[in-house]
Structure 1
Amino acid sequence: MLRKIKYTLLLPALVFLVSMQALAQPRMKEQWADSVMNSLTPDERIAQLLMIRAYSNRDEKYYNELTALVSEKNIGGVCFFQGGPVRQAIVTNRLQRAVKTPLFVALDAEWGPGMRLDSVFNFPKQMTLGAITDNSLIYDMGTEIARQLQRLGVHINFAPVADINNNPLNPVINARSFGEERMNVAEKSYWYMKGMQDQGLIAVAKHFPGHGDTGNDSHYTLPVIDKPRSVIDTLELFPFSYLIDRGLKGMMIAHLRVPSIDTAAGSISSLSKPVISGLLREKMGFTGMVITDGMDMKGLTDFVNPALAEVMALDAGNDILLLPVDARMALANIRKAIDSGLISQQMIDEKCRRVLQWKFESGLAGNNRIHLDNLSGDLNSSFARLTTAGANAAAITLVSDRDGMIPLRSLDTFRIASLVIGDLSLTPFQSRLSDYAPVDHFNLSKDPSVQERDSIMQLLEPYNLVVTGFVQTSDLPQKNFGIGRQGAWLIDSLAACKKIILNIFTSPYSLATFNQIEKMASVLIAYQDNAMMQELTAQAIFGGSAITGKLPVAATAMWPAGSGLLQPEITRVAFSQPEAAGVSSDKLREIDSIVAESIRDNAFPGAQVVIIRKGRVIYRKAFGSQVYDSDIPLRNDDLYDLASLTKILATTLTTMKLTGDGLLDPDRRLSRYYPELRHSDKNQLIIREILAHQAKLQPFIPFWKSVMEQDSLKSELFGRHFSIEYTHRVADALYLRDDYPAVIVDSIIRSPLLPKTEFKYSDLGFILLGKAFEEITQQPFSSYVQRQFYRKLGLRTMGFHPRNRFSISRIAPTELDMVFRKQLIHGDVHDQTAALLGGVAGHAGLFSDALDVAIIMQMLLRNGYYGGDTLLEAEVIRDFTGVQFVIDKNRRGAGFDKPALIKGDPSPACASASPRSFGHSGFTGTYAWADPDQDLVYVFLSNRVFPDAGNNKISRLNIRTRIHEVIYQAITD
């Protein structure tokens, strides 16, 4: 009761306090503005209305002159153009120290500071944003751009562009507009504006009364908008009116001739009283800052007496004159106009007072110093990149999908080529395509010759799917958007005979270049040509991200504005930064340190690490080299010998598949499926017990010793070359007799069982399972897993016998074997028994890069579903990844390893791994682990056995599990 009374008494006091603060803010603004006004001379009040051009990429002489000008005249503001973020901040601090009255700092940053400054990445352009259906992404971008600008000491952004681009040939607006539909432009302009203004930045919409339907650029001449007033009122003016009604703070006036608004001969909108005072101020009710477009643009300077331009602009109703040609001359001309009675000092004072009040609202009454510490890092933050990636991905538009191909499914049915036109080097688009499937890449110049076209048509003949892309494009219709006619002709020709997926990294208007567009299997518009958009488009094609974009403008008569096929299903992993999956990038950098330290300690010469969380590849790095003392860096797609990861990535997968298909029962005897066991003591072996390593099998049999006499190989068993008799490659110039693998299998069958049923890790049962699978499927084990798993999943590297598929330079070597094979093992399986079995066995023999391993683990996390296909039954996966014999104190799953049953006991996983997690490790220095509780996959590959298998630092230093623990500690949600 007492608490309720206290609350009742406290509430009115809080309301009164908030109300008093709200009343005090305007009074403080007025008091500050009046105080500053009283300190200014009449000429300094004029100078407050000027915003001059500034650069941060010039020499000291320029900076001295700029500083002298703003200091001497007490200029009101600067608008920065080319330069760099740190240099601009230094110049800004210098100017703010020099002036009597704090400077307004502006930037023309329609797609963020990167539009003007180096070392800062770009946000999407507005036509890209026009394709987005979720406007909250635009609000997020607005808030982030505001944060970046404020970190740079900027108070005003000349954005959004609220022009409706209803002229496809517009040479200056075009991609800078949200599109051609008035409501789409208005709403997106609003969310961009609101995002900035909610952070305290002044958003200046442009180019009033509308520059979207022009055929000329006002930077070079005076465009004419020759439309009836009724059309302008309902179309061009609509977005501006929409923003004014919702609190827009600033408006930029274009240099246009609009006869239906101002009938005076030679009128220019930026100097027009009917446009500014009559239409904008009085009719539309705008009370915010009015600023001219650049006074140095030829759309003004070529049509007006320079001595009168600034005076006319102020008299028309502008508050701020942007980029006067000559600031000193402008001030003199305005003073002369006042003295002659053309305009009044009172008008100047009213404008100056408003400018000062806006400065107060922008925080200029306080400390304006920009801190330089970590400025570039603050601008290029993880959140900024995340925001940019989210907006870009949401814009990608699937214009046409004639055969329902997107996202690609059934990858095992395609032979895929990529053809990029415009760049002869491998592009980010092609590199990302290769992360999803085996893709052969071809590149041509923008306008290939007839011979080049004919040659590429011939080279593409074996492929049944060609993914094409046009890069090095342009925003300009005058350059045909950077798409060469010859390149377009080639794609039209290919569409007549092949499945073509066309990707356009420029304006939708460019589709008019193609004559056979309706014959193409799929057409995607990605709007901009940059590395991020190229990679995101490749992801969208394979189902790594949803496709939700809609055309903001009409591409052709067939595809009007608003067209776009929605493809919401995400079928494969995406590639993104860690924060997109609730993981800290900063924390993950500890992995880099651990691996680098391990390489310095000679635990291994190199390693690959891949992390997937929430279906996103958030970390994929290669460290070191394949061998010590090498200058050749390890690649992400180099192959490692997976060793015992073969048990889960081949043998266990096959067991689960055959179980789900009803061809195998894990609770039955193996001899049911592999008759060779029936007359041995292995007749009673249960498959589930074999998978959990408690089938009483011998832990290890050194078969390699049986092929040697003293220190040499038995000559009758080996040949130096492949032949009908010696078919099994064991190492370089070393081939095993064709019948000998059967001897090894027979030795396993005849080996005695152990007396006690308990956990005892053994390869032997997995070797027998591999042989049983060949009986069941009537095909080689290696062929079965390729057909049923690896090709369907689009795996690029995984498989047995890597030398048959890859250059030796792509394969990391393992041990310098001085006992058995007497050579460096390179491209052949390290495990001696697997080598004697011909390189294919149920316990070892697979090679892969880390990403392919991670994809399989991700498929298991997704209950057997991946790429639009269900490869395994969810119930079977849950069974096999669970502990099988807990009553026997055996932590193992069926094929999979598991964390320790009792917390604190020795465990193959890190301490934070959940009891439901599962995985395996391999002798060569490999590790793969998945955790359903955290939707997490972690893969580590190395060749720690190079050159000596006795090097066990990787286990002694707990390197793999230390990294695993860092990943858990990096999770933020």
Structure 2
Amino acid sequence: MIKKTVLIALIFCGTFLNAQSTDPLLVKDTLAQQKWVDTLLNNMTIDEKIGQLFMVAAYSNKDANHERFISGLIEKYHIGALIFFQDIPLKQAELTNKYQSQSKIPLLIGIDGEWGLNMRLKDTYRFPWNMTLGAVKDNSLITAFGVQVGKHCNRLGIHMNFAPVVDVNTNPDNPIIGNRSFGENHINVADKSTAFTLGLQSKHVLASAKHFPGHGDTATDSHHTLPAVDFTKQRLDSVELYPYRKNFAAGLGSVMVAHLSVPELESNESLPSSLSKKIVTGLLKEEMGFKGLIITDALNMKASANFDSPQEINLAAIIAGNDLLDVPLNIPETVTRFKRALETGELTEERLDESVRKILKTKYWAGLHNYKPIDTTNLIEDLNSVENELIHRKLVENSVTLLKNESLVFPIQNLDKKRIAYVKLGDSDNKPFVEMLQNYTNIDVVSASNLFELITKLKRYNLVIIGYHKSNTNPWKSFKFKDTELVWLQEIARTNTVILDVFASPYSLLQLKSFENINGLLLSYQNSKLSQEISAQMIFGALETRGKLPVAIKNIFSEGHGLMSSSLKRLSYSIPEEVGLNSSKLNKIDSIANAVIKEKMAPGLQVLVARKGKVVYNKSFGHHTDKIKTVVKNSDVYDIASITKILASLPLIMELEEQNVLQLESTLGSLLPKLKGTNKDTLTVKEVLSHYGRLKAWIPFYVNTLDSITKKPSAEYYRDKWSNKFPIEVAKDLYLTRSYKDSIFDRIAMAEQREKPGYKYSDLSFFLFKEFIENYYKKNLDELTQERFYKNIGANNTGYLPLHKFPKNKIVPTEKDEYYRNQLVQGYVHDMGAAMQGGIGGHAGLFSNANDVAKLMQLYLQKGFYGGRRYFKSETIDKFNHRYYPEDEVRKGVGFDKPQINEDEKATCGCVSDASFGHSGFTGTFTWADPETEIVYVFLSNRVYPTMDNKGLVRNNVRTEIQQLIQDAIMQ
């Protein structure tokens, strides 16, 4: 017995060392605070003092009767505080102003905002639950979260937030805490809750740690019954009470006392801890030395309400040492009971004054001595600023936890070798996850009515991503797998390589009997849109995993476990402010895009902006044609015309240059013997790709194949059906003779050179390089680009001959051709020369969407590295992205377009760096990358619809005007 007493003494000696050294409710100007408090206290009646003890539940979604009820309590019983519950912030602000105007002493306004105001209020921002935050290693992010919640409280006239939850959730079956806890490690809980407290209170919003002395190891809900916490003092002190001491040392202002049965601290097991003097005064105030405000948990909860009548419970709570009564019942009867207690000596005025003084100090600390009504102007906008998502993104990015990575299945590499299926488990939304996965490569969503059918369907895939999606509505929703889902999961994992991504509580994993066949295991904690999107990006290595498991999963994954994954430098997806761009300015692009459609400069378009490797704007506008039937989607593909040069031919040329198959000084005659002795013989690669080689701008090859009378395709050259003699598909039901292929090369070879030296844009060199490349590799450009670049980069929406790859309704038409093919050109290349090469040209023929174009431009911006693979040496990119003839006013690099040298040129907005590069296309396309600002910009349209005479897009410099907007959006 003596040993036990000594042990307890030693424990609480340690507690004393961590007691609050200063009163957390004091402000710098203590004399002014004391004067304000004393003046009010000395002039208060007994009724007014008693009224200060009540924090009454107020609602913004109830009727006028409720408002009159609250007003009556304020005017008749002088209540000192309100805790607001549902519904909307604007109404709450209006009611707060009304109630404050009715109160002689400003009201202390509280709220339950554990994950932000959205815990109680619609139209406000929702941050992650504590269990998610428990996985975050960087506690400064938790402080930033606390700061942001503090800002929201300030904006809505809230002075006290009943957070953080500091319960150490050591019981996986806890029905009420669970996801509301930072985890099972008392040190992590202490660190996270302290970080939140510091952030919140830095905005002079009082934090209230709960649920004292610790609700984490209970299996019942105190809303319905009295939970038991049956542990020794040693255990309580080392686990449950540890986070409180850490918070006290950090200046925590308030503690909420729970309704618990704690036999080791209170011998009366039926007495809730909130009503126990031994616990509230003896332990919290005296032994632990807490000097701040003490508030009960809600007194309408069954755990306390079942103990006695409301007025007796309220009195017992104050006598126990609480200062503020949360959601007290029967206030009129309570006031009467308190007065009688003062008369009989059960309650002394000295004890009453002690709590009232603390409440008044709290009000001064919160700024209520200078009370100002809430300005409701732009309230909703202020509560939903972009700053919220910036913080939320960081929290999620730092929480997602990689638990298992067998055979380095995570992140996914070598996309050219992957056939990937996605299977959904769970009963909640999965759309953001699937859509983000599909930004990276082809992902087939596979489902079936029975397991056998599903396993059969999955045989054709060599990787299966399983998403387990449970409700994100609130942290109490069930997170458990159904029995059938567990069977399906294990069988899929047994027969396939699997990455399982769990968008639910980590405790859901306790149901799995084995993790043996699960190759990759990712824990995303919640099924929010942001969690789904960020998790998908991590699966493809666009973002790294950093999270640490806040609770243990059996004896397989220990608390604190979490694997770090590497970045593969793929594009990720975010919001403008994360990369230093202003959303409002960037959104002005919408107006220009809508004007393009309204003025019929093009029926539709796609615009993408990325910076620092993050896509922050990717929108589609309008329709495929003026028929206004098919809306343009981000996944639709456009004929990108001359952008083909830098996304198809140029990467193959750069690759050959690195292999010393050709050099920039190589002559065309040395590469193509048929050019020997022609006027093209001595032209160098560098000259012609810089558009300095005096080549003609273009040759209208098709004109000579038209009937001289009808001006329609001549029967000498064309047929309406395929045959061995007429195999070149130019358009629907139009096939060109095989013999004409050589005619194109011969005409270029024999064409006269321009007499004037200097810059002249020409397509012809890319006809010649197509010939060289395809001869060298013995494959056509379509096969080569797919095999060597597009498939592995995940540019699955990019390629020649789109009708062979995509549904027709995914391909945006270009022109109503009335001069050559005499049809709507859809799925066939617009450029006539490329069409006469069967749709595969070195200068044109490529179809793509903005997202894929951005991937390839990002590869260039990253000096040849993308998706975990190096495609080019850094110096190769520099060599080709260089002007070799600026003295002759040639702005071009080798293949790449560059910013204008002369002011009368309109290659760019004139606002990008000299290191920038890109290309434009005749069909109304444009892409540009700037190494200095790290911006990639893509603009795709079919401005040649209905005909190529539609030049409004060009005349109005739309593409470069948008480029200027992007530049203007950079925040200094």
For normalisation by structure 1, the TM-score amounts to 0.95
Q: Secondary structure at the match of 2:920?
A: strand
Partner of 2:14: none
Partner of 2:739: 739
Q: Is the 8 A contact 1:674 1:775 kept in 2?
A: no
Partner of 2:151: 147
Q: Secondary structure at the match of 1:79?
A: strand
Partner of 2:502: 504
Which stretch shows the higher mean deviation, 474-483 or 622-631?
474-483
Counterpart residue identity of residue 132, structure 2: T
Match of 1:643 among 635, 641, 644: 641
Provide the rounded CA distance (Å) in 2 between the counterparts of 1:507 and 1:288: 33
Q: How does 1:695-710 map to 2 (within 5 A)?
A: 695-710=693-708
Partner of 1:956: 955
Partner of 1:273: 277
Counterpart residue identity of residue 758, structure 1: G
Match of 2:370 among 363, 366, 370: 366
Partner of 2:617: 619
1:236 lines up with 2:235 in the alignment:
no
Which stretch shows the higher mean deviation, 590-599 or 926-935?
590-599
Provide the rounded CA distance (Å) in 2 between the counterparts of 1:230 and 1:559: 27
- Give 1:845 shift: 0.4
Which stretch shows the higher mean deviation, 514-523 or 156-165?
514-523
Provide the rounded CA distance (Å) in 1 between the counterparts of 2:512 and 2:682: 68
Partner of 2:72: 68
Provide the rounded CA distance (Å) in 1 between the counterparts of 2:791 and 2:840: 18
Counterpart residue identity of residue 732, structure 1: K
Partner of 1:968: 967
Partner of 2:661: 663
Q: Secondary structure at the match of 1:726?
A: coil
Partner of 1:97: 101
Unpaired runs of 5+ in structure 1? 1-21, 445-450
- Give 1:96 shift: 1.2
- Give 1:23 shift: 9.1
- Give 1:555 shift: 1.8
- Give 1:547 shift: 0.7
Q: Secondary structure at the match of 2:215?
A: coil
1:775 lines up with 2:775 in the alignment:
yes
Q: Is the 8 A contact 1:474 1:482 kept in 2?
A: no
Q: Give RMSD over aligned pairs.
A: 1.8
- Give 1:796 shift: 2.4
Q: Secondary structure at the match of 1:913?
A: coil
Q: Is the 8 A contact 1:424 1:443 kept in 2?
A: no
Q: How does 1:406-425 map to 2 (within 5 A)?
A: 406-423=410-427
Partner of 2:13: none
In structure 2, do the counterparts of structure 1 residues 155 and 316 end up closer, same or farther at CA, with 3 Å as the change threshold? same
1:579 lines up with 2:583 in the alignment:
no
Counterpart residue identity of residue 79, structure 1: I
Counterpart residue identity of residue 92, structure 1: T
Counterpart residue identity of residue 958, structure 1: N
Identity %: 39
Counterpart residue identity of residue 613, structure 1: R
List per-residue Cα deviations over 1:476-502 (Å, max 9, x = no partner).
999761422212211211111211000
Number of aligned positions between the proteins: 945
Partner of 1:888: 888
- Give 1:683 shift: 2.1
- Give 1:383 shift: 0.8
Q: Secondary structure at the match of 2:346?
A: coil
List per-residue Cα deviations over 1:412-437 (Å, max 9, x = no partner).
11011111123597611000000011
- Give 1:73 shift: 1.8
- Give 1:360 shift: 1.1
- Give 1:506 shift: 1.0
Q: Is the 8 A contact 1:926 1:942 kept in 2?
A: yes
Q: Is the 8 A contact 1:581 1:613 kept in 2?
A: yes
Q: Secondary structure at the match of 2:240?
A: coil
Provide the rounded CA distance (Å) in 2 between the counterparts of 1:767 and 1:656: 16
Partner of 2:89: 85
Provide the rounded CA distance (Å) in 1 between the counterparts of 2:559 and 2:92: 40
Q: How does 1:496-895 map to 2 (within 5 A)?
A: 496-630=494-628, 632-710=630-708, 711-895=711-895
Provide the rounded CA distance (Å) in 2 between the counterparts of 1:576 and 1:920: 25
In structure 2, do the counterparts of structure 1 residues 609 and 341 end up closer, same or farther at CA, with 3 Å as the change threshold? same
Q: Is the 8 A contact 1:625 1:634 kept in 2?
A: yes
- Give 1:916 shift: 0.6
Which stretch shows the higher mean deviation, 39-48 or 643-652?
39-48
Q: Is the 8 A contact 1:135 1:191 kept in 2?
A: yes
List per-residue Cα deviations over 1:293-338 (Å, max 9, x = no partner).
0000011112333331000000000000001123333323323322
Which stretch shows the higher mean deviation, 591-600 or 157-166?
591-600
List per-residue Cα deviations over 1:523-571 (Å, max 9, x = no partner).
0000111111001100111111111101000023110101110124352
Partner of 1:344: 348
- Give 1:260 shift: 0.8
- Give 1:712 shift: 1.6
Q: Is the 8 A contact 1:166 1:213 kept in 2?
A: yes
In structure 2, do the counterparts of structure 1 residues 23 and 52 end up closer, same or farther at CA, with 3 Å as the change threshold? closer
Provide the rounded CA distance (Å) in 2 between the counterparts of 1:91 and 1:403: 59
Q: Is the 8 A contact 1:931 1:937 kept in 2?
A: yes
Q: Is the 8 A contact 2:180 2:475 kept in 1?
A: no
Partner of 1:933: 932
Counterpart residue identity of residue 820, structure 1: Y
Partner of 1:16: none
Q: Secondary structure at the match of 2:620?
A: strand
- Give 1:896 shift: 0.7
Counterpart residue identity of residue 911, structure 1: G
Partner of 1:453: 451
Counterpart residue identity of residue 515, structure 1: K
Provide the rounded CA distance (Å) in 1 between the counterparts of 2:730 and 2:73: 80
Match of 2:169 among 160, 165, 170: 165
Q: How does 1:251-400 map to 2 (within 5 A)?
A: 251-400=255-404
Unpaired runs of 5+ in structure 2? 1-25
Q: Is the 8 A contact 2:900 2:910 kept in 1?
A: no
Q: Secondary structure at the match of 2:294?
A: strand
- Give 1:522 shift: 0.4
- Give 1:40 shift: 2.9
Provide the rounded CA distance (Å) in 2 between the counterparts of 1:662 and 1:337: 98
Q: How does 1:430-469 map to 2 (within 5 A)?
A: 430-443=434-447, 451-469=449-467
Provide the rounded CA distance (Å) in 2 between the counterparts of 1:374 and 1:253: 37
Partner of 2:7: none
Q: Is the 8 A contact 2:425 2:468 kept in 1?
A: yes
Counterpart residue identity of residue 691, structure 2: H
Provide the rounded CA distance (Å) in 2 between the counterparts of 1:331 and 1:633: 66
Q: Secondary structure at the match of 1:938?
A: strand
Provide the rounded CA distance (Å) in 2 between the counterparts of 1:748 and 1:762: 11
Partner of 1:5: none
List per-residue Cα deviations over 1:350-384 (Å, max 9, x = no partner).
21122111101111122331111111111111111
Provide the rounded CA distance (Å) in 1 between the counterparts of 2:27 and 2:573: 50
- Give 1:38 shift: 3.9
1:26 lines up with 2:30 in the alignment:
yes
